[in-house]
Amino acid sequence: MRILSIESSCDDSALAYTDGNNAKLLWHEKISQEDSHSCYGGVVPELASRLFARDLVQLLNNFKQKFSFSNISYIVVTNEPGLSTSLLEGVMMAKALSLSLKIPLLGINHLKGHIYSLFIESYKEIFPLCVLLVSGGHTMLIECYSYNDMRVVANTLDDSFGECYDKAAKMLGLGYPGGMIIDSLAKQALSENIAPVALPIPLINQNMQCFSFSGLKNAFRLQLEKMALKNLIQDSQLYDKNEYVNRIKNSIEAKALALGLQESATTHLIHKCKFYMKQNDHIKHFAIVGGASANSMLREKIQILTVQFHKTLLMSELRYCSDNAAMIGRAAIGKIRHENAMNTYKQINYGQLDSKKNTLPLNKIWHDKDTESKNFASNSSNSYAMQKLDTINLHTISHAHANSNDRNNQYNPLSLQISPRNTEIKTTF
6 three-class SS: strand
Ligand-binding site membership of 153 (annotated): no
Ligand-binding site membership of 166 (annotated): yes
Ligand-binding site membership of 268 (annotated): no
Ligand-binding site membership of 368 (annotated): no
| Cis? peptide before 81, omega within 30° of 0 | yes
Q: What gap in Å lies between CA 83 and CA 194, rounded to an integer? A: 38
Ligand-binding site membership of 135 (annotated): yes
Ligand-binding site membership of 137 (annotated): yes
Ligand-binding site membership of 159 (annotated): no
Q: What gap in Å lies between CA 229 and CA 335, rounded to an integer? A: 55
Ligand-binding site membership of 367 (annotated): no
Q: What gap in Å lies between CA 147 and CA 113, rounded to an integer? A: 10
Burial class (CB in 10 A: 0-12, 13-18, 19+), 342: exposed
Ligand-binding site membership of 291 (annotated): no
Tell how strand 285-289 and strand 129-134 pair up: parallel
Ligand-binding site membership of 281 (annotated): no
What string of DSSP letters covers 74-106?
A: EEEEEEESSBHHHHHHHHHHHHHHHHHHT--EE
Pick the closest to residue 87 from 147, 13, 153, 146 (CA basis): 13
Ligand-binding site membership of 185 (annotated): no
Ligand-binding site membership of 295 (annotated): yes
What string of DSSP letters covers 205-221?
A: T---S-B--HHHHHHHH
321 Cβ contact list (under 8 Å, min separation 6): 117, 289, 290, 291, 292, 293, 294
Residues annotated in the binding site for substrate, as ranges? 133-137, 166, 179, 183, 295
Residues annotated in the binding site for Fe cation, as ranges? 110, 114, 323
Residues annotated in the binding site, as ranges? 110, 114, 133-137, 166, 179, 183, 295, 323
